[in-house]
């Protein structure tokens, strides 16, 4: 059988929704996880034609017809493969390339590419747990990564030396440079990634096609990615999508965050449907990939100016993909924090609250207009009208477009004549943990003076003023005392961990350190953590 270059057909499958293509000829209704309609290939009154958007195929339980977006176009239009590809390319708005049979040389080049990136990932993984990778391993574990997470995402370490160049010294240089792992300079080949924490980048088939490296010495940029290659295009790749595909289907949505560590932490805290762009702004290709899986998207950005701009860009990009069944929302993490920090300091429930309180696209676009234009003046209202009109014109579904326009007309009539410009504020504010803890302690002291007497030395050491009245705690006396005990233990653990980190840092830098003190700290840490665990189990 002839083998063809699949990159273009894969791009068509990514950009086009199977449901959208089929529904042009067959009325479909969603039932459960699939869409159903009457089969176009045989006469039937009861729908037995099933379309699975996630897996990208259709199947008729009546006549047995089965296929994907390309075979459906061929059969329904009675055209050949090349013409079907051409029609789908026009539908997707992309240029039809010259169609050529894939040569044996091209097939071998792709196979060699994957072999090299796979072996490189294995090497990086090994080095992370060796002496040269100690700093990288300490960094990623301090970010809350367990050994299981490190293994799952195949995180590794690229040393300062040219490890890839030397490992593949018997491989032709053009094969190495094709992967982006090695470059050729004045003095010969050298590794592109050096002294970096390495995150492999997978394609949709779980093959490693590129890498993202994070600096460990504070230098900028924090991340560098493999430059575009024959098998890797950054504008068309979402980090974590290979892990998220199944969860997007289950959750009936995707979540988009700004960074890959955020994406990994979200996936491992119950938000498996999370992905992130690779160090670049979202692109139309990213949105097309997401919408092909599911048109329900939550964009989760920082609440700062950069995050607001990123949200506006995402809103603009997603408008052409909207359907009446779409649910697109915008969530913002305030207080200079990111999802990784929220999950570590406040837990999954706090992150869930942020996601659950995400602003619907219709409201976000309305807020954007009212925040950026002086709608209390005729000129400002005119500019706002033009912005809304231009934005809504991007929605391809005209009936849906008209419905949103009517909604905005009602809002303009009811609000613009009395609108006062206000600073946009997210619904969710993340409180400072110290203030939150202080208020709980104050309420305990005021409600249970016997507890304050018992722990007076510790409470005085906190330098908290107990004069201010606060709302009484709902904790009973046993729960209140456990709170004080656990907080005291947590502070002691933090002090010990800080001291331990200083000792280990001295050891790594070749300085003298007290081994006996380190051993004593480890024993105390174990004891305190056991006590804390018992307290938490008894809550």
For 298: left if phi > 0, alpha if psi spans -120 to 50, otherwise beta; the answer is beta
Q: Which residues pair with 300 in a beta bridge?
A: 331
Residues of the domain holding 178: 104-232
> What are the structure tokens assigned to 368, written together?
């954007």
Confidence (pLDDT) at 102:
67
Instruction: Tell whether 261 is covered by a domain.
Output: yes
Confidence (pLDDT) at 90:
82
Q: How far apart are alpha carbons 266 and 276 in whole angstroms?
A: 11
Containing H/E element for 317? helix 305-318
Instruction: Tell whether 338 is covered by a domain.
Output: yes
Confidence (pLDDT) at 100:
61
Q: Which of 232, 255, 284 is the last residue of a domain?
A: 232
Domain shared by 169 and 218, yes or no: yes
Q: Which of 386, 418, 450 is the last residue of a domain?
A: 418
Instruction: Tell whether 39 is covered by a domain.
Output: yes
Backbone angles phi, psi at 521, to 5 degrees: -60, -45
Instruction: Tell whether 426 is covered by a domain.
Output: no
Q: How far apart are alpha carbons 124 and 197 in whole angstroms?
A: 9
DSSP secondary structure code for residue 99 in this structure: P
Q: Give the model confidence (pLDDT) of 291-301 as tens digits.
A: 877 889 999 99
Number of other CB atoms surrounding residue 94 within 10 Å: 15
Rounded to an integer, what is the distance from CA 416 to the centroid of its chain?
A: 36
Domain shared by 206 and 242, yes or no: no
Q: How far apart are alpha carbons 132 and 144 in whole angstroms?
A: 21
Q: Give the model confidence (pLDDT) of 131-169 as tens digits.
A: 999 999 999 999 999 999 999 999 999 999 999 999 998
Confidence (pLDDT) at 267:
96
Domain shared by 84 and 180, yes or no: no
Q: Which residues pair with 181 in a beta bridge?
A: none
Q: In 3-state terms, what secondary structure has residue 529? A: helix
Could you say which residues of the chain have pLDDT below 50?
1-4, 419-433
Instruction: Tell whether 136 is covered by a domain.
Output: yes
Domain shared by 180 and 143, yes or no: yes
Domain shared by 150 and 263, yes or no: no
Q: Which of 199, 232, 265 is the last residue of a domain?
A: 232
Q: How far apart are alpha carbons 53 and 45 in whole angstroms?
A: 23
Instruction: Tell whether 187 is covered by a domain.
Output: yes
Q: How far apart are alpha carbons 35 and 59 in whole angstroms?
A: 11
- Residue by residue, DSSP assigns 250-293 as HHTSEEE-SSHHHHHHHHTTT-TTEEEESSS---HHHHHHHHHH
- Largest pairwise CA distance in the chain: 87
Confidence (pLDDT) at 238:
94
Nearest Cα neighbor of 276 from 172, 201, 216, 335 is 201
Domain shared by 113 and 218, yes or no: yes
CATH number for 213:
3.90.980.10
Domain shared by 278 and 406, yes or no: yes
Nearest Cα neighbor of 342 from 438, 257, 425 is 257
Instruction: Tell whether 341 is covered by a domain.
Output: yes
Domain shared by 293 and 378, yes or no: yes
CATH number for 329:
3.40.1360.10
Domain shared by 161 and 210, yes or no: yes
Domain shared by 24 and 66, yes or no: yes
CATH number for 39:
3.90.580.10
Domain count, the chain: 4
Please list, in sequence order, all residues whose beta carbon lies within 8 angstroms of the beta carbon of residue 392, skipping any fewer than 6 positions away.
Answer: 319, 401, 404, 405, 408
Instruction: Tell whether 97 is covered by a domain.
Output: no
Domain shared by 289 and 327, yes or no: yes
Domain shared by 24 and 108, yes or no: no
């Amino acid at each position: 059988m002839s083998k063809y270059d699949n990159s273009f057909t894969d791009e068509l499958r990514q950009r086009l929704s199977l449901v959208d293509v089929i529904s042009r000829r067959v009325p479909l209704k969603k039932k459960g996880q699939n869409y159903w309609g009457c089969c176009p290939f045989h006469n039937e009154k009861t729908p037995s034609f099933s379309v699975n958007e996630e897996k990208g195929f259709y199947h008729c339980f009546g006549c047995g017809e089965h296929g994907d977006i390309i075979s459906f176009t061929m059969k329904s239009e009675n055209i050949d493969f090349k013409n079907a590809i051409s029609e789908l390319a026009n539908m997707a708005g992309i240029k039809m390339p010259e169609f050529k049979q894939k040569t044996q040389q091209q097939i071998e080049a792709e196979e060699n590419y994957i072999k090299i990136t796979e072996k490189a990932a294995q090497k990086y993984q090994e080095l992370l747990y060796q002496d040269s990778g100690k700093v990288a391993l300490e960094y990623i574990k301090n970010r809350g990564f367990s050994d299981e997470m490190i293994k799952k995402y195949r995180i590794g370490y690229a040393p300062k030396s040219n490890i890839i160049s030397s490992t593949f010294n018997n491989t032709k240089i053009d094969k190495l440079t094709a992967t982006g792992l090695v470059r050729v300079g004045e003095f010969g080949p050298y590794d592109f990634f050096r002294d970096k924490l390495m995150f492999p980048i997978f394609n949709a088939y779980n093959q490693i096609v590129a890498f993202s490296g994070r600096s460990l010495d504070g230098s900028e940029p924090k991340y560098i990615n493999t430059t575009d290659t024959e098998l890797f295009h950054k504008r068309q790749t979402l980090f974590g999508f290979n892990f998220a595909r199944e969860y997007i289907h289950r959750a009936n949505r995707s979540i988009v965050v700004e960074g890959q560590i955020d994406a990994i932490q979200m996936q491992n805290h119950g938000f498996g449907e999370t992905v992130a762009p690779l160090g670049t702004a979202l692109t139309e290709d990213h949105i097309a990939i997401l919408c092909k899986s599911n048109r329900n998207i939550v964009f989760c950005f920082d609440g700062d100016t950069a995050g607001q701009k990123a949200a506006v860009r995402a809103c603009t990009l997603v408008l052409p993909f909207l359907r009446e069944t779409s649910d697109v929302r915008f969530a913002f993490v305030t207080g200079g924090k990111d999802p990784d920090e929220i999950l570590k300091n406040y837990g999954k429930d706090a992150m869930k609250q942020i996601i659950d309180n995400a602003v619907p696209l219709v409201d976000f676009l309305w807020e954007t207009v009212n925040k950026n234009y002086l709608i209390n003046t005729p000129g400002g209202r005119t500019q706002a009208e033009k912005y809304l009109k231009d934005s809504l014109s991007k929605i391809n579904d005209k009936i849906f477009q008209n419905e949103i326009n009517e909604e905005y007309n009602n809002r303009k009539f009811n609000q613009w004549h009395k609108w006062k410009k206000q600073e946009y504020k997210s619904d969710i504010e993340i409180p400072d943990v110290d203030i939150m803890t202080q208020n709980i302690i104050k309420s305990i002291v005021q409600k249970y003076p016997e507890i304050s007497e018992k722990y007076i030395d510790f409470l005085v050491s906190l330098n908290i003023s107990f004069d201010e009245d606060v709302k009484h705690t709902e904790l009973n006396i046993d729960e209140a005392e456990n709170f004080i005990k656990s907080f005291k233990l947590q502070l002691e653990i933090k002090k010990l961990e800080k001291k331990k980190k200083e000792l280990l840092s001295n050891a790594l830098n070749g300085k003298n350190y007290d081994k006996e003190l380190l051993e004593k700290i480890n024993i105390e840490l174990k004891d305190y953590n056991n006590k804390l665990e018992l307290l938490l189990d008894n809550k």
